[in-house]
């Protein structure tokens, strides 16, 4: 169990110790020898002894010098010195090196055994202290992560005092400039369905991995935490005299990098608050970010934006006859007019960003119910028609933007009329999506939104429909197609892996390799080797 190194220039002494001492009694199972300090030091680098039994007077390098060098390599090693000289200076040096024992020559075996027993006990205590220290470091690291989360959430509360903040920062010895510049970002994870706790944890781990990667490329420091199941509160900060590092342009670029990485796996939206001076003002940045997060519902394109200050905004007033007007268009079979009706309504509502989002969703829900009612009456017993409106409301409730809501309603209208004229069905739609992906997989910007525009349905509805028909998500299908094409190209040893990545829709060859390994259980290079003769 324990390892002993015997260092003495006299072979007879080394062999006599090995012959007469019952080492197994002290759980010493490995023994090595050296004839001077130079050889002993070299041997100690690979042997890593727990205990060293060394003579003091030796040629080339004496025992004291050797022990000094050994302590640099192996601080936990226990020292026992042997010497035929009763020199006080040697005793002093041995004490300074914290030798556990000093045995005089000629050696008394009982005295040596007592010294070895004492050394073994010291080794055990040292190992115990090391284990406790390791466990404490682990607990401290876990506590630090938990503390960071608590601090990130504490900072968004207006009632939190500066003194309380200072105490918590001092407690964990954190390097945060109290008078620096701060900004809060809110990252909302979107979901079109109820997810399990395990799926939630997987999403969290993936988002945190992306955050660590992106933040690692920046000069700014960060502190973040989950708030609820689908929102991350992220604080960025910089010294007061470097406020320019938190400019809107830099923050938007930073947020877009997170969006580009994460949106391929989990749809997200990111709101950036106003930059504030002083850590006690972070709650104001958080409030402004929350305002922006609400306004993202009205934004078209990438759902990333920053606080632009207070603006005069008005709320849209919905016509009390809205549902009746829309019903009349469906009743008369006017497809293009119904689509235009929704387009005009959406443009008008989008210009009024002070409109309550739940009010908007409620109005669009009523219009969707009209379409469902007509579809149920026309196509009774076919597919989803004739069921309750709960599914429709679930989709509407999870919709994160007005544009998506409008596309969903428009898609419902178009689908209704397609079915009315027997021009479409679910299988054909799924096939159309598959064909579109096959022709466009090389486009790195290929997205569900692009496909939904091509098919004429909302992304939310399109995802539900496609998965029902293929048992796969659209993003999953895109990845499968790209990986199959990649495998074909990898069999050609002439095409570089970076070029294969681009041909398969990946601008980042490292990310391509990461996805490939996850799908194929081996790296692109390893896969290629299988097919090179």
**Does 234 map to a domain?**
yes
pLDDT of residue 165: 87
Q: Is 220 in contact with 236 (CB distance < 8 Å)? A: yes
Read off the CATH number of the domain in which 74 is found.
Answer: 3.40.50.2300
Instruction: Give me the mean pLDDT over the 415-440 stretch.
Output: 80
A 10 A CB-CB count for 126 gives 15
| Cβ atoms 288, 182 nearer than 8 A | no
The answer on 168 and 300 residing in a single domain is yes
Q: pLDDT at residue 263 above 90?
A: no
Same domain, 217 and 296: yes
410 and 349 in a common domain: yes
Whether pLDDT at 7 is above 80: yes
Cβ proximity of 81 and 90 under 8 Å: yes
Report which DSSP code applies to 321: T
Question: Does residue 82 register a pLDDT over 70?
Answer: yes
CA-to-CA distance for 504 and 486, rounded, in angstroms? 6
- What are the CA-CA distances from residue 119 to residues 26, 98, 268, 493 (Å)? 10, 11, 60, 61
Using DSSP, state whether 472 is helix, strand or coil: coil
In a domain, 147, yes or no: no
Query: Are 365 and 278 in the same domain?
Result: no
Q: Is residue 139, in this structure, part of any structural domain at all?
A: no
Q: 219-243: per-residue pLDDT in tens?
A: 668 888 888 778 899 999 999 889 9
Residue 413 within any structural domain of the chain: yes
DSSP output for 382-425: STTTTS-SHHHHHHHHH---HHHHHHHHHHHHHHHHHHHTT---
pLDDT, tens only, 43-73: 999 999 999 999 988 889 988 889 889 988 8
**DSSP E strands: which ranges in 88-192?**
101-104, 181-189
Output the CA–CA distances (angstroms, integers) from residue 151 to 174, 177, 227, 246, 284, in the order listed: 11, 14, 12, 21, 16
Same domain, residue pair 287 and 401: no
Q: How far is CA 205 from the centre of its chain?
A: 4
Final residue in a domain of this structure, among 306, 334, 351: 306
Is residue 512, in this structure, part of any structural domain at all? no
Residue 83 DSSP class: E
pLDDT given at position 95: 62
Is 402 domain-assigned?
yes
Give the domain-ending residue among 425, 446, 474: 474
Q: Is the pLDDT of residue 159 over 50?
A: yes
State the pLDDT at residue 166.
86
Q: Is 517 part of a structural domain of the chain?
A: no
Average pLDDT over residues 250-254: 91
**Percent share of the chain, pLDDT over 70:** 90
Give 459-498 pLDDT, tens digit per residue. 888 898 888 778 899 999 999 999 999 999 998 888 899 9
3-state secondary structure of 187: strand
Q: Does pLDDT of 417 surpass 90?
A: no
DSSP structural state of residue 107: P
Residues 302, 434 within the same domain: no
Q: Which residues pair with 51 in a beta bridge?
A: 4, 78
| Co-location of 122 and 163 in the same domain | no
Mean pLDDT of the chain, nearest integer: 86
Does residue 106 lie in a domain region? yes
User: What predicted TM-score, i.e. pTM, was given to this entire model?
Assistant: 0.52
Of 277, 306, 335, the last residue of a domain is 306
Whether residue 332 sits in one domain with residue 295: no
Instruction: Compute the distance between CA of residue 89 and CA of residue 65 in angstroms, rounded to an integer.
Output: 13
Tokens standing for 170? 């001092």
Calpha distance 229→431 (Å, rounded): 35
* The pLDDT value given to residue 383: 47
Q: Is the pLDDT confidence value at 422 over 60?
A: no
Query: In total, how many domains does the chain have?
Result: 3
Domain range for 93 is: 2-128
The per-residue pLDDT for 381 is: 47
Half-sphere exposure of 303 (CA within 13 A, CB side): 24
What pLDDT was estimated at residue 26? 92
**Same domain flag for 76 and 162:** no
What is the distance between the alpha carbons of residues 355 and 405, in angstroms, rounded to a whole number? 15
List, for residues 391-411, the tens digit of each pLDDT value.
888 889 888 899 999 999 999
What single DSSP character describes residue 141? H
pLDDT at 341: 97
Are 268 and 362 contained in the same domain?
Answer: no
Helix count (H) and strand count (E) of the chain?
Answer: 21, 11
Position 27 scores a pLDDT of 92
pLDDT digits (tens, 9 = 90+) for 307-325: 988 877 889 999 999 999 9
One domain for residues 168 and 225: yes
Which position has the higher pLDDT, 195 or 42?
42
Domain identity same for 342 and 296: no
Contacts with 57 (C-beta within 8 Å, 6 or more apart), sequence order: 63, 83, 84, 85
């Amino acid at each position: 169990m324990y390892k002993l190194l015997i260092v003495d220039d006299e072979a007879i002494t080394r062999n006599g110790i090995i012959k007469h001492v019952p080492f197994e009694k002290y759980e010493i199972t490995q023994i090595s020898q050296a004839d001077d300090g130079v050889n002993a030091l070299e041997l100690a680098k690979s042997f890593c002894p727990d205990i060293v039994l060394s003579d003091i007077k030796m040629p080339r390098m004496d025992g004291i010098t050797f022990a000094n060098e050994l302590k640099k390599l192996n601080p936990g090693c226990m020292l026992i010195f042997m010497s035929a000289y009763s020199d006080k200076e040697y005793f002093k040096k041995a004490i300074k090196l914290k030798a556990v024992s000093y045995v005089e020559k000629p050696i008394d075996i009982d005295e040596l055994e007592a010294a070895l027993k004492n050394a073994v006990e010291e080794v055990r205590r040292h190992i115990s202290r090391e284990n406790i220290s390791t466990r404490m470091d682990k607990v401290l690291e876990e506590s630090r992560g938990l503390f960071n989360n608590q601090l990130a959430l504490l900072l968004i509360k207006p009632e939190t005092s500066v003194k309380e903040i200072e105490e918590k920062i001092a407690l964990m010895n954190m390097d945060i400039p109290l008078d620096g510049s701060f900004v809060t970002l809110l990252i909302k994870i979107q979901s079109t369905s109820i997810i399990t706790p395990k799926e939630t944890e997987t999403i969290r781990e993936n988002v945190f991995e992306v955050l660590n990667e992106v933040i690692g490329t920046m000069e700014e420091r960060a502190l973040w935490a989950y708030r609820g199941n689908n929102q991350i509160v992220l604080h960025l900060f910089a010294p007061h005299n470097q406020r320019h590092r938190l400019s809107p342009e830099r923050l938007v670029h930073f947020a877009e990098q997170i969006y580009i990485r994460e949106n391929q796996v989990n749809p997200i939206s990111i709101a950036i608050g106003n930059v504030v001076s002083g850590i006690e003002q972070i709650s104001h940045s958080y409030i402004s970010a929350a305002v922006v997060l609400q306004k993202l519902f009205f934004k078209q394109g990438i759902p990333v934006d920053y606080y632009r200050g207070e603006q005069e905004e008005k709320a849209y007033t919905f016509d009390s006859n809205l549902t009746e007007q829309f019903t009349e268009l469906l009743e008369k079979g006017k497809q293009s007019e119904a689509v235009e009706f929704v387009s005009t309504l959406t443009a008008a509502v989008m210009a009024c960003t002070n409109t309550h989002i739940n009010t908007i969703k409620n109005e669009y829900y009523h219009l969707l119910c009209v379409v469902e009612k007509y579809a149920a009456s026309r196509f009774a017993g076919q597919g989803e028609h004739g069921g309750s409106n709960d599914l429709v409301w679930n989709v509407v409730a999870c919709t994160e933007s007005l544009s998506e809501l409008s596309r969903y309603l428009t898609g419902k209208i178009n689908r209704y009329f397609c079915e009315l004229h027997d021009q479409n069905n679910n299988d054909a739609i799924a096939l159309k999506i598959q064909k579109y992906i096959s022709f466009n997989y090389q486009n790195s910007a290929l997205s569900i939104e692009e496909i939904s525009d091509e098919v004429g349905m909302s992304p939310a509805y399109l995802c539900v429909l496609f998965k029902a028909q293929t048992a796969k998500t659209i993003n999953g299908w895109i990845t499968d197609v790209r990986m199959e094409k990649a495998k074909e190209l990898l069999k050609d040893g002439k095409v570089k892996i970076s070029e294969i990545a681009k041909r398969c829709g990946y601008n980042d060859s490292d990310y391509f390799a990461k996805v490939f390994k996850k799908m194929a259980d081996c790296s692109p290079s390893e896969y290629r080797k299988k097919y090179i003769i």
